């Protein structure tokens, strides 16, 4: 991922600013911190980059989703439509909020489809938690139309899609709120961290109170102000924020480089007959973090994954992956938790143990993805593509199975 590929002196400099003051906490200690407010600067940088009016940094992408659900008033017994292809954190956040996940089908956008959402609506549906999977947009127009028609709110888990846009507007700004993850495997990383964006000041304020035990941060002495609500500790620390700040400044370069490399890959691989790609709702807005191949059959996809693996090229065959596709989520289907959840009491409207997702399976079983690197030289990318082309052709001609 670009964040780890381009990690360097800029990150160290920002961290040293913090270490030189010794103020690791994002609030208070005004004199000792000598003008260093890394969390605030990180938020300002993400707001500037995405065009959001407001941004709030928190401790992770997971706590960002929990904060959004809380700020939007999603809780006890509410039904929340979620995709079967995401990172499990999306589903965990819904369950931890006391809400009930309702799974809907995805399509070749790799995201929830408008039709899937429509079919999954129940009288208790309060929100769609839309995941823009693997760095590119879902069918926003179609999904917004269903949300408006059914009077349900759209909340965007944009953890994997920082830098991606739809018709020129950054993902995360189409629903009430959007969240990003800065964990170690994202486009930009700060080790562990998350950022929520919104154009609604009150929602961001509520998320802010939620992230710090309900403190409203008014005045200059945090801890002695009012608590409009209860909350918990989802705060980001200054060291993580400092790294996030340095990484955020590199986002325009990262996205531009990924997009340029994607164009090269697309031009080469689209010459292979019978090979298809992820359906893009706005190709130009793809953050181009991943490249996705759709093979003619599940067997061909798995064979390609194995063949490239044998050549030392790691690809993702998400269909069998433990953390990203519902097929392997027995712990979620069993609602396994050390304590009682609202979902245990109210039950799920779907029997996840017997339920099938034929449309999602049809896409996922044929999908093979790989990361687009930003530090590839022209020669390295050329050699990489040579191997991918060779393997795809072998698989398509039935030479390997």
The residue at minimum Cβ distance from ligand PLP is 61
Does residue 183 interact with ligand PLP by CB under 6 A? yes
Contact flag: residue 89 with ligand PLP (CB under 6 A): yes
C-alpha 96/C-alpha 116 separation (Å) is 24
DSSP 170: E
DSSP-derived letter for residue 236 is: P
DSSP string, 362-377: HHHTTEEEEEPPSS--
CB of 66 to ligand PLP, least distance (A): 10
Rank residues 126 and 324 by Cβ distance to ligand PLP and give the closer one. Answer: 324
Decide whether 39 or 295 has the Cβ nearer to ligand PLP.
39
- Shortest distance, position 132 Cβ to ligand PLP, whole Å: 8
What is the rounded distance in angstroms from the CA atom of residue 47 to the CA atom of residue 199? 10
Compute φ and ψ for 130, nearest 5 degrees.
-85, 125
Distance CA 160, CA 180 (A): 7
The reply to whether 368 sits near ligand PLP by the rule CB under 6 A is no
CB of 324 to ligand PLP, least distance (A): 8
Name residue 291's beta-bridge partners: 370
Q: Strand, helix or coil at 79?
A: strand
Shortest Å, Cβ 227 to ligand PLP: 26
- Of 161 and 391, nearer to ligand PLP (C-beta) is 161
Q: Which one of 34-42, 87-95, 216-224, 363-371 is the stretch in contact with ligand PLP (CB under 6 A)? A: 87-95
Please report, for residues 42, 45, 170, 386, the alpha-carbon distance to residue 241 in angstroms, rounded to integers and kept in the order given.
Answer: 6, 11, 21, 40
Is residue 392 near ligand PLP by the rule CB under 6 A? Answer: no
Query: Closest approach of Cβ 385 to ligand PLP, in Å?
Result: 27
Give the residue from 164, 191, 130, 176 showing the smallest Cα distance to 50.
Answer: 164
Q: Is 194 in the site for ligand PLP (CB under 6 A)?
A: yes
Contact region for ligand PLP (CB under 6 A) — 86-94, 115-123, 283-291, 386-394?
86-94
For 391, other C-beta atoms within 10 Å of its C-beta total 24
Which residues does residue 212 pair with via DSSP β-bridges, in sequence order? 233
Q: Of 42, 85, 87, 291, which lies in the binding site for ligand PLP, with binding defined by CB under 6 A?
A: 87
**Counting contacts by CB under 6 A, is residue 181 touching ligand PLP?**
yes
Among positions 118-177, residues that touch ligand PLP (CB under 6 A) are 131, 157, 159-160
Strands (E), 158-263: 165-166, 169-170, 178-181, 194-198
Q: How far is the CB of 194 from ligand PLP (least distance, A)?
A: 5
The two beta strands, 79-82 and 100-103, are: parallel
Q: Minimum distance from CB of 133 to ligand PLP (Å)?
A: 7
Contact flag: residue 62 with ligand PLP (CB under 6 A): yes
Q: Which chain residues interact with ligand PLP by CB under 6 A?
A: 60-62, 65, 86-87, 89-90, 131, 157, 159-160, 181, 183, 194
């Amino acid at each position: 991922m670009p964040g780890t590929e381009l990690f360097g002196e800029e990150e160290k400099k920002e961290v040293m600013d913090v270490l030189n003051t010794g103020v690791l906490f994002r609030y208070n200690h005004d004199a000792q911190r000598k003008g260093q407010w890394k969390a605030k600067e990180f938020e300002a940088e993400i707001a500037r980059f995405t065009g959001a009016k407001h941004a709030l940094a928190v401790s992770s992408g997971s706590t960002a989703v929990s904060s959004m659900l809380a700020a939007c008033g999603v809780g006890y017994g509410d039904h929340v439509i979620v995709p079967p292809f995401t990172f499990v954190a999306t589903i965990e956040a819904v369950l931890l909020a006391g809400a009930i996940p309702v799974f809907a089908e995805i399509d070749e956008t790799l995201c929830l489809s408008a039709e899937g959402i429509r079919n999954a609506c129940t009288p208790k549906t309060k929100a769609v938690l839309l995941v823009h999977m693997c760095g590119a947009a879902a069918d926003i127009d179609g999904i917004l139309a269903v949300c408006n028609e059914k009077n349900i709110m759209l909340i965007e888990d944009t953890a994997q899609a920082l830098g991606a846009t739809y018709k020129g507007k950054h993902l995360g700004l189409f629903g009430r709120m959007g969240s990003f993850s800065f964990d170690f495997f994202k486009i930009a990383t700060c080790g562990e961290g998350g950022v929520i964006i919104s154009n609604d000041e009150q929602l961001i304020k509520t998320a802010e109170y939620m992230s710090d035990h309900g403190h409203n941060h008014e005045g200059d002495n945090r801890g002695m102000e009012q608590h409009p609500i209860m909350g918990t500790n989802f705060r980001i620390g200054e060291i993580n924020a400092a790294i996030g700040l340095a990484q955020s400044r590199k986002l325009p370069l990262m996205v531009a480089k990924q997009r340029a490399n994607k164009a090269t890959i697309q031009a080469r691989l689209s010459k292979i007959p019978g090979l298809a790609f992820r359906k893009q709702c706005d190709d130009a807005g793809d953050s181009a973090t991943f490249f996705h191949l759709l093979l003619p059959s599940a067997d061909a996809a798995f064979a390609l994954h194995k063949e490239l693996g044998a050549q030392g090229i790691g690809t993702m065959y998400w269909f069998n992956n433990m953390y990203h596709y519902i097929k392997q989520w027995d712990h979620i289907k069993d609602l396994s938790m050390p304590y009682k959840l609202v979902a245990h009491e109210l039950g799920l409207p779907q029997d996840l143990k017997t339920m099938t997702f034929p449309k999602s399976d049809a896409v996922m079983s044929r999908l093979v993805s790989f990361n687009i690197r930003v530090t590839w030289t022209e020669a390295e990318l050329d050699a990489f593509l040579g191997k991918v082309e060779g393997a795809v052709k072998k698989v398509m001609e039935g030479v390997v199975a």
